[in-house]
Chains A and B, each alone.
Chain A
Amino acid sequence: MEDESKELKLTDDEQELLTELLNDSAKLSETGKSRRQFLRNVSAASAAILATQMLAEQKIVAYTPIENVSGASSAIENGVKVVMKVNGAEKSLNVDSRMTLLDALRERLELTGSKKGCDHGQCGACTVIIEGRRVLSCLTLAATCEGKEVTTIEGLAKGDALHPMQAAFVKHDGFQCGYCTPGQICSAVALLSEAKNGEASYVTADVRAKARAIQLSDDEIRERMSGNICRCGAYPNIVAAIKEVHTGKDVAQTWQFAGETGVAIFENAEMNKEGA
């Protein structure tokens, strides 16, 4: 634990889990920047490895695949044929004209990462990325997505690496129950490009300024993420995670403990060292 270089070795479990999670049959390479980046953010004594068993067990006890999920159900009324690209793969669906994109993803394509929090565009849990922009999939009829490119939380990781935003959310504990998390992360990923394009927000000081890449303040991040409700209240951690990815610089994590000699502040690495 004390030496970061020791963490850079992928265990069989990690490899197994990542391969499974990322839905990628390619074996993880032994070296490579993306993997190192991931391991720096997700310490070896954490998530990955343990989750392997959980994931496997969940599937055994509870997961029965739907047959012909994307095929036409006999019950479809006012069927509309839609062809869209979801996470890079072309999907052809015959949908009820009333079906939202969110329900199409969840009930027809088995992509249950996007969540239904309010079904009214008020909570952000269903946020996906369409053509590079964040969109509330509960307010988007599936029938309107003809020819569109849709990215969901399941499509953010590339090959063997988590998207940096996903890794930063793990590192900064940017969630508790995890239900709003797919929407928060999709929103945050699209936010990065909005900043790059210099798009203004409610807290932007001068909205007339010519659009150019902007460095977001904490308040800019807070405002731009205010369409994504987190009832667990992970907001400060979400801001830290986004700031880290946006700036490309480590945002320190600290824990404060008060003993007989007053308050001691620990950084993550120190905490780990202490117990080693």
Chain B
Amino acid sequence: MNERIKNVGQAMNRIDGLLKVTGTATYATDYAIKNTAYAVIFKSAIAAGKIIDLDTSEAEKAAGVLAVITHKNAPKLNASGGIRGGALLQSPNIEFHGQHIGLVVAETFEQARYAARLVKVSYEKTDAKVDFEKHEKEAVTPKDKDRAEASRGDVETTFRNAEYKIEAVYDTPIEHHQPMEPHATIAVWEGEKVTLYNGSQIVNGAQNAAASTLNLKPENVRIVTPHIGGGFGSKGGQWANLILAAVAAKVVNRPVKLALTRQQMFNSVGLRQRNRQKIRLAATKDGKLTALAHETTTHCAINGEFVEPCGDCSKVMYDVPNSLISYRVVPMNIILPTYTRGPGKSTGSFALESAIDELAYQLKIDPIEFRLKNEPAKDPSNGKPWSSRAIVQCLKEGAKAFGWEKRKIEPRQNPQGNYLIGYGVAAGTYPARQRDTSATVKLTRNGSDVRSSIELAASDLGTGTHTILAQTAADALGLPINKIGVRIGDSALPPAAGSVGSVGAASFANAVNDACVKITDELIAKSGKQFFVRPTAAEMMASENINEFQTRVHAKPPADADKYSSHSFNANFAEVWVNDSTGMVKVQRFVAVTGAGKILNPKTARSQIIGGNVWGIGMALTEESILDSRWGNFVTRSFADYHVPSNLDIGSIEPIFINEEDTIPNKLGIKGIGEIGIVGVAAAVANAVFNATGKRIRELPITPDKLI
């Protein structure tokens, strides 16, 4: 193996690419299981109150109908078993508009869909809290300890006495994840065991929540999810649809397929909550920050609290002696909000990085220079040293690549025909963490042919997990990459962390690497021989004439990781073209420079960053969900009303990575890139819109009506 190819760090095609371009990758509803029946959910038409009558007789008589399940006949479940958002048909009470109130199971999808419309429901309505503006004042301190107020120094006095300061409120609307694969489940019972084909970012999390809710032992629940059609947080925690599929399958004693419709997706699987963020920022004349307050008011659900951490970026981005981060939350009759790509950091950085831009303009200091003047030597939130902090390099390299020197500090200086061109910059950060993960590595030899199978309950929602794990294993075992098989997305495999919060790559790859090192150690020990040059696992299989061998590890983060503050950082540069007559904004060019530790596969990593940028551009320009304050339903409940970016909305996007070696957060130096790509994007676009037009838009999305 003297010509061992190094795979990690190489720009490689996805190993699951062939499956995906030929239509053979299997998502939740792609399994053809004999005798499957179809379930269709029906939902509440009020936002608060209770069901007083529910007439299912006509539906039950309809052709092909096998069962109608409502709170009247649903089996008793453990509603606090870890399923998010309630709606488990356990009571007649209604907590939000669109709460699941029942489902029809029929021989065919068409029959179930038709019969679901025959159910007659009458309600007793009570006052619903659905208008954030109206109830904002009722907001209280969150119960979540991670959202407790954090302060140092004296923000109030410093801010009051400051000569240069910004006080502004930044509003971001409700957003929906809307992965292209709607949440869907096929449930198959065999005795007391149930297999659930269900998109799950956290495979074991889904297994445990389903087991607990269904009052089963975890080993009696199997989650199968080799490919996930996107998730972005909505398939992290699990929602009622997973359980209702299992319940339906039990009731009709057949496999059941249950898919949410696109409309149902808007109020079934969480959302990004509306945030009102007040920023106060003060600085000296020469641009040294003296005070930073970031106060967020938001809403959660009546039946649960979730508050995204909008103040997180403000905790670590700048060196400022006086600081205050706080949260207030008002429960409303709305589906429980949840983690959404770049949770807190994407929305929080819009507020913070817009305010930084505003203050830089007030000081007439270049916004990059302003940021550089306020670089913290250590983490200002906890005094820990940085394991690495690439933000200065991100800003400087980005400025060069983007052509920042051409930007004029005054707005409206760059007209071209009917367009106003503007440049904007914003920085961002996301924590780097490794989570406990087990992995098994198996080796099999047939003559000179040695192959390996890597097995763990990891997940791949388009993040490239299959590919990076094959690359990692190939290098660690000394095998060509085409001899590595990767089995993930099955709770029957060794338990693993989830693809959430940018912990996936670090957790999975370190576990796989540890397993490969361990199996090599064990083979060497077994031989009883001493080696001057460490042989590979494959060589040991051959020299010791072993045909089958396997081992398993449980990998944990390094003991010292906690002593440091470990984060990814980025700098985003946007060039926008604003049509001066119509107010239409196009992000013509975007440069994102990211310092995110070891880049395992530049091809898939580049795609991840582009994807995050596209999400950020959607956040900046088009994505907004509107609640009807009379009924509590979303007016925006299709792709025609809720505008995710389409192909023509996106211009040139150029990701650049910083060569960064940092093995403090984990042995392989992986920081994760799923979240960082969206952080700072909306602010960069908004700052560019100001540079183009002189208009400071503090309420997303920046739609034409706000510019004309």
Using a CB–CB cutoff of 8 Å, the interface residues on chain A facing chain B are: 1, 11, 13, 17, 21-22, 42-55, 57-58, 61-67, 69, 73-77, 96, 98-99, 103, 106-107, 110-120, 122-123, 125, 152-154, 156-157, 162, 166-167, 169-171, 173, 175-182, 185, 203, 219, 221-223, 225-239, 253, 255-259, 262-263, 266, 268, 271-272, 274-276
Contact = CB atoms under 8 A, between A and B. Distances in A.
A94 to B, nearest CB: 12
Given A257-B657, A258-B658, A263-B401, A116 B179 contact: no
B227 interface: yes
A66 B107 CA distance: 15
A235 B647 contact: yes
Interface string B592-609: 010000010011101110
Interface string B165-201: 0000000000000111110000000000000010000
Contacts of B298: none
Interface stretch (B13-21, B76-84, B533-541, B552-560): B13-21
B225 to A, nearest CB: 10
Interface residues of B, number: 104
Contacts of A231: 178-180, 230, 232, 644
B610 A181 contact: no
B466 A54 contact: yes
A263 B26 contact: no
Contacts of B464: 176
A50 B462 contact: no
Contacts of B614: 233, 235
Interface string B639-666: 1100011111110111111110000000
A173 B14 contact: yes
Interface string B605-622: 011101111110000000
A228 B647 contact: yes
Given A226-B649, A231-B230, A272-B10, 15 more contacts: A17-B18, A47-B14, A47-B17, A53-B451, A63-B26, A63-B32, A69-B32, A96-B110, A154-B24, A173-B13, A185-B21, A234-B611, A257-B658, A258-B659, A275-B9
A117 B260 CA distance: 10
B463 interface: yes
A54 B26 contact: no
B64 A77 contact: yes
B425 interface: no
Given A258-B393, A276-B5, A46 B261 contact: no
Interface of B: 5-7, 9-27, 29-34, 63-64, 106-111, 114, 178-182, 197, 224, 226-230, 232, 259, 261-262, 393, 397, 400-401, 451, 453, 461-464, 466, 470, 481-482, 484-487, 490, 593, 599, 602-604, 606-608, 610-615, 638-640, 644-650, 652-659
B659 A259 contact: yes
B525 to A, nearest CB: 28
Contacts of A259: 659
A152 B21 CA distance: 11
Contacts of A75: 63-64, 106-108, 111
Contacts of B451: 53
Given A62-B26, A173-B607, A228-B647, A45 B5 contact: yes
B21 A170 contact: yes
Contacts of B612: 233
A257 B401 CA distance: 11
B639 A122 contact: yes
Nearest to B227: A178
A50 B401 contact: no
B259 A256 contact: no
The list of the 6 closest CB pairs from A to B, nearest first, reads: A113-B23, A233-B614, A53-B485, A176-B462, A179-B229, A177-B462
A177 B34 contact: no
Contact of A50 (B482, B648, B652): B482
A53 B138 CA distance: 56
A261 B7 CA distance: 24
A266 B602 contact: yes
Nearest to A56: B485
A157 B180 contact: no
A166 B22 contact: yes
A125 B180 contact: yes
